[in-house]
Amino acid sequence: MKDVATKRPNTEMRREYDFSGAVAGKYAKRYAKVTNVVLLDPDFARSFRDSKSVNEALRLLMRTAEKRKTTK
């Protein structure tokens, strides 16, 4: 059996790839419309390790804000 961990990925571009007609950023606007990437500051990233924990905290904050609106 081969040791998979010792294999190095081939990072060189193959000669048969032709990007001469490529357009930089061709789909950037379309992609930006359907994604919502948010970068957390390091202090938040330590507390919120994944998107699930961030979403739970934000939902709790939204519910709390909505309750405060209705009680005033």
Distances (CA, A) of 26 to 16, 31, 35, 37: 22, 10, 16, 19
- pLDDT at residue 37 in the model: 81
Asked if the structure places residue 50 within a domain, the reply is yes
For the chain, the domain total comes to 1
Query: In this model, does residue 2 exceed pLDDT 70?
Result: no
pTM for this model (two decimals): 0.47
Asked if the structure places residue 45 within a domain, the reply is yes
Asked if the structure places residue 21 within a domain, the reply is no
Cα(57)–Cα(51) distance, integer angstroms: 10
Domain that holds residue 50: 26-72
Over the stretch 10-62, which tens digit does the pLDDT of each residue have? 778 788 888 889 999 999 888 878 878 888 899 988 998 888 999 999 999 99
Asked if the structure places residue 72 within a domain, the reply is yes
Asked if the structure places residue 7 within a domain, the reply is no
- pLDDT at residue 3 in the model: 56
